Amino acid sequence: MKTALLSLALGLLSACDQQASPPAPAKAAAALPAGVKAYPLDTCLVADEKLGEMGEPVTLIHQGQQIKFCCDSCVPKFNKDPEKYLSKLKK
């Protein structure tokens, strides 16, 4: 009896190992908090560089608007005069 149960258990485990694993999901965009507007551009708000060309974009939320930058050095420039850069989103 023990041999039969052991054989059955091994058979089930073996079948589980042979199942294909689902593919890893593509890197999904993080869900935004409620009420936050998604960033509409594919370029940095400060440098106008295409996002992703300098690595992973830097993202922050400013007054309910998601903002994306090409690199860390653009954040202080934005913080110095946000309205100057936010005007690009209103065009």
pLDDT at residue 25, as a whole number: 36
The residue among 6 and 58 whose pLDDT is bigger is 58
Q: Say if residues 49 and 43 touch (Cβ distance below 8 Å).
A: yes
Average pLDDT over residues 4-28: 46
Q: Can you give the residue ranges of every domain in the chain? A: 33-91
CA distance linking residue 42 with residue 76, whole number of Å: 20
Give the span between the Cα atoms of 91 and 87, in whole angstroms: 7
DSSP state of 70: S
pLDDT in tens, 54-72: 999 999 999 999 999 999 9
* Residue 27 pLDDT level (bands cut at 50, 70, 90): very low
Query: What is the rounded average pLDDT of the residues 19-30?
Result: 44
Angstrom distances, CA of residue 56 to CA of 8, 51, 72: 49, 8, 10
